[in-house]
A = this chain, B = another copy of it.
Amino acid sequence: MAEVTLKDVARASGCSVATVSRVLAGTRPVGAETARTVREAAARLGYRPNQVARALRSRSTGTVGLVLPQITNPFFPSLVRELEHALHAEGRAVLLADCDDDPLTEAARIGALLDRQVDALLLIPADEHHSRDAVLEAAARVPLVLLDRGCGPGVADSVAVDNAAGTALVLEHLAATGRRRPCFIGAAGTASTAVERRVAYETGAAAFGPQAPGRTELGDFSVAWGRAAVDRLWPARPDAVVCANDLIAVGALQRLRQLGADVPGEVAVTGFDDIPLAGLADPALTTVRQPVPELAAEATRLLTHRPAGSASRRTVRLTPELVVRASSAEGSR
């Protein structure tokens, strides 16, 4: 069954392909009567425009590339979902690339997407430093928005949560509920999320008093690290364990329970991100919710509304929200 083309519709409706194109793409005014006839013929024949041909000619594929470090990172699926919906709502399709947390793979994927003439790129960089060159190069070719993580200053437009504000919310909550000896389990390295949350903790912890900043342990964003860090921190008997993300916090909760600690009675535990797992942990995890739908909306907005010829980069910071759950409850103390 041969595909129905514009030519077929033109023949069936008795006008030229140009007119049919104009009716269907809505690019230029067309006589009302002609338009009706054309539309009717198109519908009757079951015509579907070939987007590849359209893309070649109009130099726009209506496709955006979405590049992420690891789709299996539990924070990303909901973000992908929101982005997919936002983009499809504008008639754009999403080419997905998963980089396996590897900047080399990332560079290759970006290249593959550009070869496919994506109109734009949405990118969560795998690495603060090593992603930089590929991102800069890509940003020179198409609109590009960095999501969730940065990649050096001035590289591209970016949207992320305000990690400092989120960490501050946690610290205020802990102070207000009587915690006095916090500690921090963070991630080493230069990823912007790691750095910002770490610095914000150090800054905010000073308010607990001169002795308070307490200990800070740095590893990676994993459950295993959360478990391991607790072994190092628990001997000092902190009354709050602030974790740089929810995975770490879940690990910390597990290990604290194994060690017989009473959470939240004896010690509060907090996370960051509000991944689905946070609500399922036992006790349920107090955490900072990233405004995922807003992140997605803002990212697509930045892609779509680009100030013509402006070289300056836009950085959008969204305010997170504290979600208080059982792991930091004060009633039971």
Q: Which residues of A contact B (CB under 8 A)?
A: 48-53, 55-56, 61, 63, 66, 70-72, 74, 76-78, 80-81, 84-85, 88, 91, 93-98, 100, 109, 111-117, 223, 250, 254, 257, 276-277, 280, 282
Please tell me which one of the listed residues B63, B81, B97, B282 contacts residue A72 in the complex, with CB atoms under 8 A apart.
B81
Please tell me which one of the listed residues B95, B97, B116 contacts residue A52 in the complex, with CB atoms under 8 A apart.
B116
Expressed in whole angstroms, the Cα–Cα distance for A129 and B140 within the complex equals 47
Expressed in whole angstroms, the Cα–Cα distance for A112 and B87 within the complex equals 12
Residues of B within 8 A of A98 (CB): 80-81, 84-85
Residues of B within 8 A of A81 (CB): 70-72, 98
Also in contact, A116 and B77, with CB within 8 A (given A71-B84, A282-B282): no
Residues of B within 8 A of A277 (CB): 277, 280
Closest to A258 in B: B282
Indicate if the CB atoms of B50 and A117 lie closer than 8 Å: yes
How near does chain B come to A106, taking the closest CB pair, in angstroms? 12
Residues of B within 8 A of A116 (CB): 51-52, 63, 93
Expressed in whole angstroms, the Cα–Cα distance for A95 and B95 within the complex equals 4
Please tell me which one of the listed residues B50, B56, B66, B115 contacts residue A96 in the complex, with CB atoms under 8 A apart.
B66
In order of increasing CB-CB distance, the 8 nearest A-B pairs are A96-B96, A51-B116, A84-B98, A71-B77, A52-B117, A72-B77, A51-B115, A94-B96
Residues of B within 8 A of A88 (CB): 97, 109, 112
How near does chain B come to A270, taking the closest CB pair, in angstroms? 18
Also in contact, A74 and B115, with CB within 8 A (given A85-B100, A98-B84): no
Residues of B within 8 A of A109 (CB): 88
Residues of B within 8 A of A52 (CB): 52, 55-56, 61, 116-117
Please tell me which one of the listed residues B50, B91, B117 contacts residue A51 in the complex, with CB atoms under 8 A apart.
B117
Expressed in whole angstroms, the Cα–Cα distance for A49 and B56 within the complex equals 13
Please tell me which one of the listed residues B50, B111, B276 contacts residue A74 in the complex, with CB atoms under 8 A apart.
B276
Please tell me which one of the listed residues B94, B100, B112, B257 contacts residue A95 in the complex, with CB atoms under 8 A apart.
B94
Residues of B within 8 A of A113 (CB): 93
Closest to A53 in B: B56
Given pairs A50-B56, A72-B77, A84-B98, 6 additional interface contacts (CB within 8 A): A48-B115, A51-B116, A53-B56, A88-B109, A95-B95, A254-B282
Expressed in whole angstroms, the Cα–Cα distance for A77 and B71 within the complex equals 6
Q: What are 17 residue pairs bridging A and B, where the CB atoms are less than 8 Å apart in the complex?
A: A51-B116, A52-B56, A52-B116, A56-B56, A70-B81, A71-B80, A71-B84, A72-B77, A74-B74, A76-B77, A80-B96, A88-B112, A93-B97, A94-B97, A95-B96, A223-B280, A254-B282
Closest to A109 in B: B88
How near does chain B come to A6, taking the closest CB pair, in angstroms? 13
Expressed in whole angstroms, the Cα–Cα distance for A51 and B75 within the complex equals 32
Residues of B within 8 A of A276 (CB): 72, 74
Residues of B within 8 A of A112 (CB): 88, 91, 93
How near does chain B come to A143, taking the closest CB pair, in angstroms? 16
Expressed in whole angstroms, the Cα–Cα distance for A62 and B270 within the complex equals 45
